[in-house]
Structure 1
Amino acid sequence: MTLSSTPLWPAPTAAGPVDATVRLPGSKSVTNRALILAALGTAPSLIRRPLDARDTRLMAAALRVLGAEVAEEADGWRVTPATFASGGTVDCGLAGTVMRFVPPVAVLADGDVHLDGDEHARVRPMEVIISALKTLGADIDDADGQPGFLPLTVRGSGALPGGKVTIDASASSQFVSGLLLAGARYERGLTVLHDGKPIPSTPHIQMTVGMLRERGVEVDDTEPDTWRVLPGPIAGLDTVAEPDLSNAAPFLAAAMVTGGVVRVSGWPSATAQPGDQLRDLLNRMGARCELADGVLTVTGSAIHGIDADLHDVGELTPVIAAIAALADSPSHLRGIAHLRGHETDRLAGLAAEINGLGGDVTETDDGLTIHPRPLHGGVFASYDDHRMAQAGAVLGLAVPGVQVENIATTAKTLPEFPSMWAELLELERAA
């Protein structure tokens, strides 16, 4: 790939075992769903401890285009429901939640809503959402670029009939969640049927359903691959965004890679976040994981390879792959073919970048096979993908001379990542 013009970031190499406590900001998945539901609500909502990052600010800006007010207060973000009185232009950046969640809401606007995003956003699939909304009665024009992708224009008429639609959501659970979030505001409600290969990241759909029910929306998900949302009001809510457990991955990996201890505070005892599966995955790779009184403690020792189906936790793949490249035995990561359509082709990217450091990673039809080999320094391209950048940082802990391209891309979900990483390694104290 062609590297961006941003400076290379020398990934710090650990001088010894880390011993640190990390507090993470709110979950992007929870924050952006809460923003959507607050904009669709019948009364103002307060989102406490939201994630303040590029993806969530893009969502807030998109909802302001639709007439919502998102005000930053000392205790969180207060959202006044959208008026939908007119249209406008929405910048999706590279945020899948903005791309896939906003069009089902934009159909309620009284005017045209134009959506576009970063260059790579224009190759992320949108056809499922576009076709579904057309079936439900929406007028959408995607002829300005390649059909089925951004840019597109939703020609809102102030309402949508709704009803039943069958989709193939095997590329992303966001297609289901995006429709469900707005379904209660459609005249006949919404029934979504999935027809295709298994949906990836299904815990995110469970999160969506749970958040709808918290706001008084009736959702029936008793039949497999079928979701029914009854028409009705969406209540305003004072809610707290859980910590983003997926963003814990590189910090917990640091405990494993350095043979140290990392504690993450505020870990929920029960959650729909896929990141909670880190506890099982890291344990299987040789770590000791203990959750007590809201603190997850991970203690590292020898790193073992793993044979794991990551279909429901694909966002963890880059960091798991980095750990696996430093293990004492091979790993097989399966069920993640859908990662080829994420912020970048993560399977190709991981193979190219780890192999560029001397590794032995092979792409399979639905994943990666990783044979650990001694690694050396070099440039680790991020492809403007926050999870790729985090993987490069993890490798740098054990491999001197790793330089991560565009570490600033971590601002997508964790703006403080470089400073938190330095604090983890006590670099500022040492300086």
Structure 2
Amino acid sequence: MAGYSLIPVANHELPEFDDSHGNFFEIHLDKLFYVGDNFTLHQVTYTINQKILIIENSKLYGDPDQCINFITSFSQRKVFISLTDEFSYLIPLIHDLPQILYIYIYSNLPENVSYSSTDYSKLRAIVNQNLPDADQQLLKDVEMFQRGLVSSHPNHSKKQKTKLLIQEPLIIEEYLVVWIADNNDSDTLDTTSITKIIPRLDFSFDIQHCIKMIQTSRANNKIFLVSSHSETETLFKEVAHLSNILAIYVFDRDQRLTITLDDSNTKWCGLYSDLESLAIQLSHDYKRLKETSSLPISSFHREQNEKTVRDLNKESARFLWLQLLIDILIRTSCYEQAKEEMLDECRTYYKDNVILLRKIDEFRDYQKAFEFQKRALKFWTQDSLIQSNQHHIANTYAHLDAAYRHLE
């Protein structure tokens, strides 16, 4: 904050900012910044004519409610937020806000802070607030962000499934590129061709920080590791065996690296001297690995001539969608219109299958609402319909979504 003055400004005097202009806010939350409910402390500078200019992308708050209300009032910008010890309890509450890119704790006793980046991936640093260089990491990250070397995409930790039969949180795989480089490389690297393939690209210049970041990364983060660092061999020895590393590349534009790598390692994807070749290989590997990714679950799966219990490593998606379909049928409202709308969707989908169209017409003849719900499961799970055709339904989300509209 050196070079700026701090003055309180009445909230009603503040001009409204345009969310579409500018791309980040640097926010500091400290009880020392509290100046009343109707005022906010601001960093300002003065013109030659002593006119006050407010530093628009810097915000100082002493009240956590004011701070959070401000952060949630916009959607287009990203936030670098620092908290002092007394406000560190907010981390679990604000961590998943999409506006927040990084969180910093400014502490009197950093070693006593109970939060860590292992549990909260946006927690960038815990620093001693009494040190003269306490802002060093924050300022460096802001600079990297402005240069486009830090992803503006927040981590997606967990998403909830539709609350039908399956209600536990579903871990969604997130693909990212981690690039470790020497400092003097970053100014001349145009990574547009990489981010077109995988939008999230995280740069690092410190070898130990990069190793720690990868080792503590969430299990759902799937990493394509690119290195143009002079200590590439050290890095690979530390992280190549980790399960969240999918592929490893070396970028050596000036052919200055002298490294010996184990060609037997299946994650090793080659050495490249130009970004175009690297991007082509990365695109190929990304598509291949994403297509072969599956949900590793074991459960009951009923199928003709198969064992009742089986490992669904390859057919998990079909199994999950079938369970959703059954649950939709159970919860479908018991009235005639719902039945007809569902059957119309089925007729549209099976328009070229004369046998199934005939069976749908037979099902239509169940006129009583009680009979409809009672016999629906039996009809839709018998071998002649679902068991022989469930792979069509399981892979057609649009039809399930249409059926789901008939739920209460």
TM-score by length of structure 2 reads: 0.24
Q: Higher RCO, 1 or 2 (CA under 8 Å, sep at least 6)?
A: 1
